[in-house]
Amino acid sequence: MQLTDTNWNDVLINYIPIFKGVNNRNLCIYVTRKLVHQTCDRHNQLSIFYTLKRNSLKWLARTCLIIDNKIIVGGMYNENFGKLSKLRMGDEILKINGVLISEHIAFYNELLSGSNQEAKNNNISDFLFSGYSDSSVFAVLRNDTILTFVEKCFLEKELIKSSFNYEI
């Protein structure tokens, strides 16, 4: 890692009281990413996926792309699970668990690294569509109609049992 002009000791002193106030997993991830982001160059990457039990992460059966600050549903990881999904190719995701996509993108864009915006968008998408909950609530735009529904999430090992099918 190449350090920026920021003095590590100054950043650490500022973050000690912040870490003392951390009371949940997401806040811990957020604060840790902010700390790494402030002390490293644009290529820094704190991989939450590998540090927090990747095997227990749950994922959507569908892939999603960030295009012009919109999240569009693309392919499916596993055809059987993809067919069970209520998300359809081309759906624009408006909200996840009640939070606007623009807020999610702005939040993670500040924290996640990438050598260019496309790489950063891939990291944002991975982070948005994985977690430890069994499901998430989605609001999507499909054929000029807004739909809201619960989408089930699956363990990664379940999703990759069959070949990846990409529809876009």
The pTM score is 0.69
> pLDDT of 32-66, one tens digit each?
777 766 665 444 555 544 444 556 778 888 889 99
CA atoms within 13 A on the CB side of 1: 15
Given a contact cutoff of 8 angstroms between Cβ atoms, the answer to whether 140 and 92 are in contact is: yes
List of residues 6+ apart from 97 with CB closer than 8 A: 136, 137
Q: Please choose, from the candidates 119, 99, 96, the residue with its C-alpha nearest in 3D space to the C-alpha of residue 109.
A: 119
Whether pLDDT at 81 is above 80:
no
143-147, 158-162, 163-167: which range is least confident on average?
163-167
Kindly list the structural domains of the chain, giving each domain's residue range(s) and its CATH number in brackets, ordered by start: 8-46 (no CATH), 55-159 (2.30.42.10)
Average pLDDT over residues 78-101: 89
Given a contact cutoff of 8 angstroms between Cβ atoms, the answer to whether 113 and 43 are in contact is: yes
Q: Report the chain's terminal Cα–Cα distance, integer Å.
A: 36
> pLDDT of 94-135, one tens digit each?
999 999 999 989 888 877 766 778 888 888 888 888 877 889
Residue 20 tokens, joined:
């003392």
| DSSP H or E run through 147 | strand 145-152
